[in-house]
Amino acid sequence: MKIRQLWISLFVGFVAFLSFNSSLLAVSYKIDQVNIDYIIQSDGTAEVKESYRYQFSGSHKGLIYQLDPTHLYQEPENVRFKVNQTEVKEADSKATGSYTKENSQGMWRYKIFYPGKNDQVTLLVTYRLPYLITSYRDTAELNRRLIGSQWENSLQNITATIKLPQAVTEDDLDKFRVFGHGDPNGRIKRGKDRQTVIMTLPHNPKGQFLEAHVLFPTYLVPQNKNIKDQDKFHQILKAEKALVEADKRAAQKRQRFLQKLKQISQILIAGLSFLVLPAFAFLAWLRNYRRHALKDFPHIPQHLFEPPSDLNPISLGVGLYDMPLDGNLLSSVVLNLVRKNWMSMESYTPKGAKRSKKAGKEFRMNLLKRPNSSEKLPAVEQAVLNLLFQKIGKEHTVTTANIKHYARQKARSYLNQLDQIAEKADKEMQELDYVRSASDQAERGILLFKILSGILLIVEVLYLIFYTIASNTFFTKIHLSLFILSLLQLIFLFLPLSQHLTAKGKYEKNKWQAFQQMLKDIAHLDRAKHQSLIIWEQYLVYALVLGQAKQVAKELSHVFPEDVLAESNLAVVTTNPSVDYILFNQSINKGYHTAQSVVSSSDNYSGDNSSGFGGGFSSGSSFGSGGGGGGGAF
């Protein structure tokens, strides 16, 4: 028996070792830009060019590319690869700059040997797909998964272009229909030249294909050999419309489910609300008790007239106040960077916009050279600069109009990047010992106990219900015992035993709350009015985080004359703070809320391209070729 247990232990340990070892050997990378071009010839052949930009973190030996020839009229031809603009050749030597290929279960798998470490690598793939287009009696069809479902990682920032041999005539535009299938954030449209189809997708998850289904007149491919003697146009339109209608029904079903869930939640909350009152009474006592725990720190007055520290606004909001990184925090950190002379800002009125104090005004930010080459920015503010001037802007310039456009067109990517900046802020606060690490053993223990207590509470409530029904009695000793036990567990679940802030962090937050109170009462505090313009610039920055923007903007114009405000680094918003300061914040906020709205609507996608004249991707598939394509790295 002991020998058997020993063998089982060894086997489990060996499996665990293999799993751990494989995780260490995994290549870390992301593919942050994908460009795909299909040039259709007059014989229906497609000349294909695909570009994938890899960003590696750590070492790698090379790249993997998989081409799926199934459901094609003819095998792909002239497959070639370039890595960083250098062509690689097929060879069994596995030397750098070579590749090998094999056919596994009908798929062509290529291993490209190109070792490196912490570098950027661009893979360019070109090949021909003979007679890709299928010509029917009443339409020509391109039905192809431009991205297969076998990619190891997700793909970012995808643009795919399909170019027909010539433009569709004005009279035949009704026969030019385009459909996209895949992630609901994708969009497909017909080009203004009546010859191109453009597909865009900010993020394609692992395992998800991107499929193009395009219909156009047959006279564009007169030399095509892939011909089928049947009518297909209306049948295809009907099938595509059915996919969109299925999306609508699914979205409506989700909405009904969420509505029912909301109603059930309201009933449960109403039923348990009377149990919460004792818990909150205990919390009030606990909060007062914890205040005394800070007695070892110096006393904080009711009002602080200067910011307690030079903490960047995002770290302040995300770390101390547990806020999401929204438009307010982004606006405040932009103003802070302008205040510190890392960028300049000016207002302008776009062409065609109404010229008034409010309507149509936008703001332009220009990246400045560092005042001192040795000066360094916090990681959070550096990440904001990278987002604004590398991802969104062009040539050291970005406008609020650019930000709103980017947030609308690449909503999920925009929000993901804000999440990454928020993670940097949380890390910064951990380094300052203001917030606890999520890996804190005590924190995890408390969380585990709360989860177990919550499960037990659910079991007790269910038992109480079934016992009442079975016994046909309502008030017994069992009822009373379970009620008291459930009440104690509910109080335990509500207790803030898991503390986000350390004692040092609580003290820092108390100082910022005193500063926040000063901003709130600023109209009645003479001492605040005697502060310098430099201090008031900081007031403007932090007022956005602390919810006191309107009060500070209103008082600023009363404290300083216009000629003094014009000398400020923030002159663009200080010369008319009641309008421009608030307007700038609203403009940044609009981009954030637009991104949220786009992502939210994509999660509840109901279809907007049932006719094929352009719009969002639908789910399902037209079962085009290329579904097994993919790639990765090793």
Q: Does residue 561 register a pLDDT over 70?
A: yes
What average pLDDT score do residues 525-544 get? 82
More confident: 107 or 263? 107
Judge whether 54 and 30 are in contact, CB under 8 Å: yes
Judge whether 40 and 161 are in contact, CB under 8 Å: no
Q: What pLDDT was estimated at residue 480? A: 59
Q: How far apart are CA 375 and CA 370, in angstroms?
A: 7
Q: How far apart are CA 443 and CA 451, in angstroms?
A: 12
In the DSSP assignment, the letter for residue 242 is H
Q: Does residue 1 register a pLDDT over 90?
A: no
What average pLDDT score do residues 485-511 get? 70
Q: Return mean pLDDT, the chain.
A: 80
Judge whether 402 and 393 are in contact, CB under 8 Å: yes
In the structure, what pLDDT confidence band is assigned to residue 633 with cuts at 50, 70 and 90?
Answer: very high
Judge whether 63 and 94 are in contact, CB under 8 Å: no
Give Cβ neighbours of residue 335 (< 8 Å, ≥ 6 apart).
Answer: 540, 541, 544, 570, 573, 584
Furthest-apart CA atoms within the chain: distance in Å: 91
Q: Which helix (H) or strand (E) holds 143?
A: strand 140-147
Lowest mean pLDDT among 155-164, 455-464, 558-567: 455-464
Lowest mean pLDDT among 259-273, 490-504, 587-601, 604-618: 259-273
In the structure, what pLDDT confidence band is assigned to residue 607 with cuts at 50, 70 and 90?
Answer: low
Counting every residue written for the chain, the total comes to 634
Lowest mean pLDDT among 165-169, 322-326, 473-477: 473-477
Q: Does residue 13 register a pLDDT over 60?
A: no
More confident: 489 or 34? 34
SS3 588: helix
SS3 561: coil
Lowest mean pLDDT among 193-207, 540-554, 611-625: 611-625
What average pLDDT score do residues 343-372 get? 72
- Give pLDDT tens digits for 97-124: 999 999 988 889 999 999 999 999 999 9
Q: How far apart are CA 416 and CA 154, in angstroms?
A: 13
What average pLDDT score do residues 253-268 get? 62
Lowest mean pLDDT among 471-475, 544-548, 630-634: 471-475
Judge whether 300 and 514 are in contact, CB under 8 Å: yes
Q: Does residue 21 register a pLDDT over 50?
A: no
Helices (H) and strands (E) in the chain, counts: 16, 21
Q: How far apart are CA 605 and CA 255, in angstroms?
A: 11
More confident: 480 or 291? 480
Q: Which helix (H) or strand (E) holds 262?
A: helix 233-292
Q: How far apart are CA 522 and CA 551, in angstroms?
A: 7
What average pLDDT score do residues 160-180 get? 94
Phi, psi of 111 (to 5 degrees): -110, 120
Q: What pLDDT was estimated at residue 279? A: 53
Phi, psi of 81 (to 5 degrees): -130, 145
Q: What pLDDT was estimated at residue 95? A: 93
Q: What pLDDT was estimated at residue 290? A: 52
User: What is the per-residue DSSP string for 409-472?
Assistant: HTHHHHHHHHHHHHHHHHHHHHHTTSB--TT-HHHHHHHHHHHHHHHHHHHHHHHHHHHHHHHT
Q: How far apart are CA 525 and CA 559, in angstroms?
A: 12
The pLDDT > 90 percentage for the chain reads 36
Q: Tell me whether strands 29-40 and 46-56 are parallel, antiparallel or unpaired.
A: antiparallel
Give whole-number Cα distances, 338 to 342, 367, 403, 526, 557, in Å: 6, 9, 17, 27, 20
Question: Cα 604 to chain center, whole Å?
Answer: 16
What average pLDDT score do residues 38-58 get? 96
Q: Does residue 501 register a pLDDT over 60?
A: yes
Q: What pLDDT was estimated at residue 17? A: 45
Work out the angle between the directed axes of helices 327-339 and 379-386 (0-180°, nearest 10): 100
In the structure, what pLDDT confidence band is assigned to residue 606 with cuts at 50, 70 and 90?
Answer: very low
Q: Which two tokens stand for residue 279?
A: 């818990």
Q: Does residue 525 register a pLDDT over 90?
A: no
Q: How far apart are CA 616 and CA 181, in angstroms?
A: 9
- Give pLDDT tens digits for 238-259: 988 888 888 777 777 777 776 6
What average pLDDT score do residues 528-535 get? 77
Q: How far apart are CA 325 and CA 428, in angstroms?
A: 15
Q: What pLDDT was estimated at residue 477? A: 58
User: What is the per-residue DSSP string for 49-86?
Assistant: EEEEEEEESSEEEEEEEEE--TT-SS--EEEEEEETTE
More confident: 531 or 43? 43
Phi, psi of 252 (to 5 degrees): -65, -40
Q: How far apart are CA 90 and CA 100, in angstroms?
A: 6
280: left (phi over 0), alpha (psi -120 to 50) or beta: alpha
Q: How far apart are CA 628 and CA 581, in angstroms?
A: 53
Lowest mean pLDDT among 254-263, 274-283, 326-335: 274-283
Q: How far apart are CA 131 and CA 44, in angstroms?
A: 5
In the structure, what pLDDT confidence band is assigned to residue 453 with cuts at 50, 70 and 90?
Answer: low
Residue 298, Cβ density class (10 Å: 0-12 exposed, 13-18 middle, ≥19 buried): exposed
Q: What pLDDT was estimated at residue 229? A: 94
More confident: 336 or 595? 336
397: left (phi over 0), alpha (psi -120 to 50) or beta: beta
What average pLDDT score do residues 323-344 get? 89
pTM over 0.75: no
Question: Cα 326 to chain center, whole Å?
Answer: 13
Closest by alpha carbon to 320, among 582, 516, 493?
516
Q: What pLDDT was estimated at residue 615? A: 81
More confident: 333 or 438? 333
Q: Does residue 33 register a pLDDT over 50?
A: yes
Q: Does residue 515 register a pLDDT over 60?
A: yes
- Give pLDDT tens digits for 563-591: 787 777 777 776 676 667 777 888 888 88
Q: Does residue 228 register a pLDDT over 80?
A: yes
Q: Which two tokens stand for residue 224?
A: 């095509």
More confident: 94 or 26? 94
What average pLDDT score do residues 392-404 get? 88
In the structure, what pLDDT confidence band is assigned to residue 314 with cuts at 50, 70 and 90?
Answer: very high
Q: How far apart are CA 431 and CA 386, in angstroms?
A: 22
Q: Using alpha carbons only, what angle is made at residue 406 by residues 404 and 407, rounded to the nearest 5 degrees?
A: 65
In the DSSP assignment, the letter for residue 97 is T
